[in-house]
Amino acid sequence: MKINIRRSGRRTALAVALGSALALTATACGDDGSGTGGSKGSEGSGKGEITFWDSNGGVRTDIWKQVIADFEKKYPDIKVNYVGIPAASAQSKYDTAIQGGGLPDVGGVGTAMLAEIAAQGALEPLDGRLEKSSLNGRLSPGLLSVSKAAGGGDTLYQVPTSANNGTLWYRTDLFKKAGLDAPTTWSKFYEAADKLTDKGKNAFGFTIRGGEGSIAPALDAVYGQTGITSFWNGDRTTVNDPKNVAALEKYVALYKKDTPSADVNNDFTKMVAQWDSGTIGMLSHNLGSYQDHLKALGKDKFRGIPNPTMDDGTRVQVSNPVDGLGLFKASKNKAAAWKFIEFALSHEENSKFNESAGQVPANTDAAKDAWIQQSEPTKLAAEALNGANTKIVQLPYYLPDWNTISKADNEPNFQKVLLGKMTAKEFLDTLAEQLNKAQAEWKQQKG
Partner 1 sequence: MITEIAPAPERVVSRQTRPRTRRRAWDEVPRWQIYLPLSIYLLFTLIPFYWILLFALRPAGSTSLVPWPVTFDHFEKVWTERSFGTYFQNSVLVGLATLVLTTVVALAGGYALARFDFRIKRAFMLALLCSQFVPGALLLVPLFQIFAKLSMINSLGSVVIAETVFQLPLSMILISGFIRNVPPSLEEAAWVDGCTRFAAFRIVVLPLLRPGLVAVGSFAFVHAWNHFLFALMFLSDQSKQTIPVGLNTLMSADSVDLGALAAGGIVAAVPVVIVFAFIQKWLITGFSAGAVKG
For partner 1, give the closer residue by CB, 27 or 134: 27
For partner 1, give the closer residue by CB, 292 or 401: 292
For partner 1, give the closer residue by CB, 71 or 186: 71
Which residues of the chain form contacts with partner 1 (CB under 8 A)? 1-6, 9-10, 13, 24, 27-28, 30-31, 51, 53, 56-62, 81-89, 92-93, 96-97, 99-102, 110, 164, 268-269, 272-273, 277-278, 285-289, 291-292, 295-298
Task: Tell me how crowded residue 198 is: count the other CB atoms within 10 A of its CB.
Answer: 12
For partner 1, give the closer residue by CB, 165 or 434: 165
Minimum separation from the CB atom of position 276 to partner 1 (A): 8
Minimum separation from the CB atom of position 149 to partner 1 (A): 20
User: How big is the CA angle at 237 (ends 118 and 211), to the nearest 5 degrees?
Assistant: 75
Minimum separation from the CB atom of position 56 to partner 1 (A): 5
Minimum separation from the CB atom of position 216 to partner 1 (A): 12
> With contact defined as beta carbons under 8 Å apart, do 118 and 402 qualify?
no
Using CA atoms, how far apart are residues 123 and 283, in angstroms rounded to an integer? 36
> With contact defined as beta carbons under 8 Å apart, do 378 and 287 qualify?
yes
Task: Tell me how crowded residue 438 is: count the other CB atoms within 10 A of its CB.
Answer: 18
Minimum separation from the CB atom of position 292 to partner 1 (A): 5
Long-range CB contacts (< 8 A, 24+ apart) of 426-430? Answer: 427/248, 428/239, 428/240, 428/244, 428/245, 428/248, 429/240
Using CA atoms, how far apart are residues 67 and 352, in angstroms rounded to an integer? 8
For partner 1, give the closer residue by CB, 129 or 303: 303
Minimum separation from the CB atom of position 101 to partner 1 (A): 5
For partner 1, give the closer residue by CB, 63 or 422: 63
Using CA atoms, how far apart are residues 368 and 344, in angstroms rounded to an integer? 17
Minimum separation from the CB atom of position 392 to partner 1 (A): 19
Using CA atoms, how far apart are residues 41 and 330, in angstroms rounded to an integer? 4
CA-closest candidate to residue 153, choices 431, 434, 400: 400
CA-closest candidate to residue 326, choices 72, 130, 67, 78: 130
One-letter amino acid for residue 188 of the chain: K
User: How big is the CA angle at 94 (ends 439 and 317), to the nearest 5 degrees?
Assistant: 45
For partner 1, give the closer residue by CB, 356 or 364: 356
For partner 1, give the closer residue by CB, 87 or 246: 87
Minimum separation from the CB atom of position 27 to partner 1 (A): 5
Using CA atoms, how far apart are residues 376 and 374, in angstroms rounded to an integer? 6
